[in-house]
Structure 1
Amino acid sequence: MTLEIEQFACRDDNFGILARNKETGTVFLVDAPEEAAIMRAIERTGWKPDVLLITHHHPDHVEGNLALKQRFGLVIIGPEAEKSKIPGIDRTVKDGETIDVAGEPARVISTPGHTAGHVSYYFPDSGIAFTADTLFALGCGRLFEGTPTDMLGSMRKLAELPLETTVYFGHEYTLGNARFALTVDPTNSALRERSERIGKLRAENKPTAPTTIGEEMATNPFMRWHDPAIRRNLGMEDASDEAVFAEIRKRKDLF
């Protein structure tokens, strides 16, 4: 693995990401939730970023764009579908495109649902994915602009990544996600064990990120729409994948 990751808290519950390629020494950011927190991370590490990858247009992911661009001359890269809503954007990307980021290939994965043009970035050489507000630990983003079918499609794409892929996500929502997950998948022993670990981490004010694709496949109900136990618990044994996923999302919205 060539990427070093500095993860830090921003705003109330956002994660910030500063990443450095150990071989080239080049640095990039993933989203810009808050200039002050990002500047503290840069000063702490001494890593000065050249690139800012944007996953989607929501203010808590682009608030620092222009200030950071002015400070560092950053190249801002973001989804083509949301270019008009991303401050300072220089380059757009689309699903399936592979770009060079800090000397390492990054594959762009269109992951709509939370927003219509949301993208995730997968770095195969380092085995890392940045999924922002699509895939959380034990959850997925609210459907502000997309449909359950859109988000299900995004989950299916991410499920195709290697199980060992390390996943960095956008918000510290994991404790609440765990409590909800147990309501739809109460007999899952791996989930119960993970929920206990999460409770201990949060009691110590420690982050729950990153996770892995494998861990989410085993415990995240939004990646387990096909699981017979969840379907039985929902009374939807013979329902379509789309219907099961939509029901889980609806229940989470009301939780």
Structure 2
Amino acid sequence: MKVEIIPCLQDNYSYLIIDEDKLEACVVDPSEAKPIINYLNDKNIKLKYILNTHHHYDHIGGNTELKKRFGSVVLGFNGDAKRIPEIDILLKDNENWNSGNFKAKIIHIPGHTTGHICFYFFKENLLFTGDTLFSLGCGRIFEGTYEQMYNSLNKLKSLPKETKIYCGHEYTLNNSKFCLEHDSENSSLIKKIEFIKQQRNNNLPTIPSTLQDEIDCNIFLRANDLKSFSKLRDLKDNF
């Protein structure tokens, strides 16, 4: 299974999860259709599934055009059935979704939105976190509560530490500045920032990260309780 990072809009990432034997793919959070269509057509790959982590437009903007062109099946959280366009399959928390070689556990991680989920491809240890967990950050709390977001991040922390993290945006460099301000003696963070700067200087993604990296470096995952997490989230909103 191969993951192809597709830059979209200004700083979004969509992801193609490609079964190279069958030349079939899923796309996670298609912000827009064109760059995804271009890649698929160039490689002669069939788009079978569209996986949405949440309903925000910059994660579902390509749904309708991609479904029309490829006949793809749209998957999203059952609680967002009325907010995700073209949705076909309604997913539940802790459900295992299987189709051919595509196998993912659905984890409900509210906070950024009430219906946010992630897709954990457990055979390959790939986690698509949308706007809940970023590299060195976490999403703004729009619909949920601080407690929901804190609990959601703790759910993700329990996964295998080698899990690769694929998030919804290229925010890592900016996030690193906030982490460094509040965790300036963290040698793991300082080392990671060197890598981040090198990647961005070469116009390359800082994604994927790993869960171990995030536990070591991400100030939001290093918060020990809800009170300190909530304070950090407020500070980041005004950073």
TM normalised by structure 1 equals 0.91
Checking the alignment, whether the CA contact within 8 Å between 1:62 and 1:87 is kept in structure 2 is yes
Of the candidates 226, 233, 239, which is equivalent to residue 249 of structure 1? 233
**Counterpart Cα distance in 2 of 1:167 and 1:75:** 24
Runs of 4+ residues over 3 Å off in structure 1? 22-25
| Secondary structure class of the residue paired with 1:85 | coil
1:55 maps to 53
Matches within 5 A, 1:206-217: 206-217=204-215
- Post-superposition CA distance 1:99-137 (Å, at most 9, x none): 114423210000111111100000111111110111110
The residue type equivalent to 1:56 in the other structure is H
1:77 maps to 75
**Counterpart Cα distance in 2 of 1:101 and 1:63:** 24
**Counterpart Cα distance in 1 of 2:171 and 2:43:** 26
Of the candidates 13, 31, 34, which is equivalent to residue 32 of structure 2? 34
**Counterpart Cα distance in 1 of 2:8 and 2:115:** 23
**Counterpart Cα distance in 2 of 1:180 and 1:191:** 11
2:110 maps to 112
Question: 1:160 deviation in Å?
Answer: 0.7
**Counterpart Cα distance in 2 of 1:204 and 1:61:** 26
1:195 maps to 193
1:44 maps to 42
**Counterpart Cα distance in 1 of 2:92 and 2:152:** 14
Checking the alignment, whether the CA contact within 8 Å between 2:189 and 2:216 is kept in structure 1 is yes
2:169 maps to 171
Checking the alignment, whether the CA contact within 8 Å between 1:28 and 1:101 is kept in structure 2 is no
Checking the alignment, whether the CA contact within 8 Å between 1:21 and 1:102 is kept in structure 2 is no
| Secondary structure class of the residue paired with 1:5 | strand
The residue type equivalent to 2:205 in the other structure is P
1:18 maps to 16
Question: 1:37 deviation in Å?
Answer: 1.4
Checking the alignment, whether the CA contact within 8 Å between 1:18 and 1:27 is kept in structure 2 is yes
Question: 1:200 deviation in Å?
Answer: 1.7
Question: 1:91 deviation in Å?
Answer: 0.9
| Secondary structure class of the residue paired with 1:50 | strand
Checking the alignment, whether the CA contact within 8 Å between 1:54 and 1:78 is kept in structure 2 is yes
| Secondary structure class of the residue paired with 2:140 | coil
The share of aligned pairs that are identical, in percent, is 41
> Which runs of 5 or more structure 2 residues have no equivalent in the other structure?
none
Checking the alignment, whether the CA contact within 8 Å between 2:95 and 2:106 is kept in structure 1 is yes
Greater Cα shift, 67-76 or 19-28: 19-28
Checking the alignment, whether the CA contact within 8 Å between 2:13 and 2:168 is kept in structure 1 is yes
Checking the alignment, whether the CA contact within 8 Å between 1:28 and 1:102 is kept in structure 2 is no
The residue type equivalent to 2:77 in the other structure is P
Of the candidates 161, 167, 181, which is equivalent to residue 183 of structure 1? 181
1:7 maps to 5
- Post-superposition CA distance 1:205-237 (Å, at most 9, x none): 1110011111100000111002xxxxxxxxxxx
Paired residues, number? 239
The structure where helix makes up a greater share of residues is: 1
Question: 1:201 deviation in Å?
Answer: 1.2
The residue type equivalent to 1:76 in the other structure is V
Greater Cα shift, 194-203 or 182-191: 194-203
- Post-superposition CA distance 1:167-226 (Å, at most 9, x none): 111000000000010011111011011112111211111110011111100000111002
1:205 maps to 203
Question: Aligned-residue CA RMSD in angstroms?
Answer: 1.1
The residue type equivalent to 2:238 in the other structure is L
Checking the alignment, whether the CA contact within 8 Å between 1:24 and 1:103 is kept in structure 2 is no
The residue type equivalent to 1:242 in the other structure is L
